[in-house]
Structure 1
Amino acid sequence: MSQPIIIVGAPRSGTNMLRDVLTSAPGVTTWPCDEINFVWKHGNLDLDHDEVPASRADRTASYLQSVFERRRRRDNAEIVVEKTCATSLRVPFVARALPDAKFIFIRRDGLDATASTMKRWNAEFDLAYTLKKVRFVPPTDLPRHLRDFLAKRVRQRTSGDARSDANDLKVSTWWGPRPQDFRELQRDHPLEELAFIQWQRCVVQSADALAAVDADRVLEVRYEDYVADPVAGTQRCLDFMGIGDRLERTEVGQVMTSSVGKGRSQLGPDAVSRLETLGGATLSRFGYA
């Protein structure tokens, strides 16, 4: 089995962008869908959140390793890159289940990520997007996921959350990575705070967990630096992956800088002030205060 590359990052932090650039390199592949959280959660459906503890890795390690190996062989690839944002809440589990994996941790200004996440939280249902992911649901898990999906759709419709992006909306359903206390969070916080807390939990837990992983297995990428010089940023990632000679054959030209710094203006001064009070220490820790 080759060494998988796991991209770790909070939602709307450049994880898709980075995955798409890296998998455009010859010999590198991924799944033909946005994320495979269904695969990661196999064997742990008794947990209604994404913070799967490392102690549970042994029960599904062989399954996860086989899934990665099948993808590599199916696409006749050397390296499999995977990006699921919820992985940022369970890095120790993934590191134990895939002991040969390397991690690329991409982080972005929490206020930019928050503003972008809010636009996605209550977006209209996309059937084509969902069906691409359903293909990779373990068959034995399908009834449970179908039940949860239908319940979520009913809550959205009856609450009026669908297609709503009001900043002060207390949403009835959760989007993206789920911390253990996500139900309490969605009960007690408006949408802008939920999105910010989600970013905060993802980056803090990722950084803390990756600090315990061998340094040669971890690469940290600052989104703003990457988009400012995507050629240098991509070269750094390819070197880390052991394929530094393939830069010219990647689609690095798709990277844009247009979204950097827009979060503060989109959120407005009052919201920015509240979020800086809520998580100023985290913003400072990662250089965004």
Structure 2
Amino acid sequence: MAEPQPRAPAGVRSKAKGPLDRPVFIIAAPRSGSTLLYETLAATPGFNSFGGEAHWLIEDHADLRPGAPGMDSNRLGAAEATPDLIAAIREIASNRRRGPQGTSPSEGAPLLEKTPKNALRIPFLKRVFPDARFIFLWRDPRENVSSIMEAWKAGGWVTYRTLPGWEGPWSLLLPPGWQMMSGAPLETVAAWQWRSANQIALDDLQSLPDEDWTAVAYHDFLADPAGVTRRLCDFAGVSFDAALQARTAAPLPLSRHTHTAPAADKWLRNRESIERVLPGLEALWYRLANL
């Protein structure tokens, strides 16, 4: 069930326009194409950003890391957003925002952010940033699960070197209940990460007002980057300017986190493994496809 969205604490929302008004968070499972979408949108000075994934925004605070009292995963609810944490996170976010290519931030431009772990933190983010909006990106589970598997194999996406009761390092986001994956095959872990990220995010988003979020399929973005980018700019209240028009007029460049060259049938290298876990993903896949 989605967690109820509480009212923001007194004093957080301001009538005056500030540097963190109406931030936009891209919410997505890991390895779902969110870096490409983020880098596309961040090409315009109409958005400020942190220049990349901002794991530090949350995990620089020891109380919010797995292993802290009451914290055994990346899941964060509104209750974890104490007044002191809200003030600290908003201050560092304001100080570290930048324009495209590290230029000075554009005054009045909303903050754009994407970190896959945030798929598990929407109630927390909504408490810290009461007028936040969310772009929910999802990807075909066959492709996404395959990419998650490849990330685990590559060893370049390790997030936790050690976890109690887990053999070896852990890669990518850490959903609640990760302990039950101990000893499971890689495809089972990858499918569970895809399902957990998308299901938790979608449940949380559907408890928000409709105007606070929108959804996009990764395939739709690849098929029509200009059209999808224009729609997302309209949602965010940002101009589809010359920088974005130029960016989406030509073939999109590879994102910085590309592991191997894109190919529509790349998931087939893991086909046998993925087909073993796909039945458990079909209900959520249908739900996503019908957003």
TM-score normalised by structure 2 residue count:
0.76
Match of 1:212 among 207, 211, 231: 207
Match of 2:89 among 64, 70, 83: 64
Partner of 2:243: 249
Residue identity opposite 2:105 in structure 1: N
Note closer, same or farther for the CA distance 1:171–1:112 as it changes in structure 2 (3 Å cut). Answer: farther
Residue 219 of structure 1, CA deviation: 1.3
Note closer, same or farther for the CA distance 1:105–1:274 as it changes in structure 2 (3 Å cut). Answer: same
Structure 1 alignment gaps of length 5 or more? 131-144, 156-169
Residue identity opposite 2:270 in structure 1: L
Indicate the RMSD between aligned Cα atoms, in angstroms.
Answer: 2.7
Match of 2:51 among 22, 32, 36: 32
Partner of 2:129: 98
Please say if residues 111 and 263 of structure 1, whose CA atoms lie closer than 8 Å, have aligned partners that are also in contact: no
TM-score normalised by structure 1 residue count:
0.77
Please say if residues 27 and 76 of structure 1, whose CA atoms lie closer than 8 Å, have aligned partners that are also in contact: no
Please say if residues 111 and 272 of structure 1, whose CA atoms lie closer than 8 Å, have aligned partners that are also in contact: yes
Residue 286 of structure 1, CA deviation: 2.0
Residue 259 of structure 1, CA deviation: 4.0
Note closer, same or farther for the CA distance 1:17–1:279 as it changes in structure 2 (3 Å cut). Answer: same
Residue 62 of structure 1, CA deviation: 1.5
Aligned residues: 248
Match of 2:179 among 175, 183, 194: 183
Distance 2:23 2:167 in 1: 36
Structure 2 alignment gaps of length 5 or more? 1-17, 255-260
- Tell me which moved more, 35-44 or 16-25: 35-44
Partner of 2:75: 51
CA deviation string 1:103-137 (max 9, x = no partner): 111001111011111111132459xxx9xxxxxxx
Residue 201 of structure 1, CA deviation: 0.6
Identity over aligned pairs, percent: 25
Distance 2:262 2:153 in 1: 20
Distance 1:260 1:237 in 2: 25
Distance 2:191 2:58 in 1: 24
1:1-289 mapped onto 2 (5 Å cutoff): 1=18, 2-33=21-52, 35-41=53-59, 42=61, 43-45=63-65, 46=68, 47-59=71-83, 60-72=85-97, 75-77=104-106, 78-125=109-156, 149=161, 151=162, 172-185=168-181, 187-246=182-241, 248-250=242-244, 251-252=247-248, 253-255=250-252, 259=262, 261-262=264-265, 264-268=267-271, 270-287=272-289
Please say if residues 72 and 79 of structure 1, whose CA atoms lie closer than 8 Å, have aligned partners that are also in contact: no
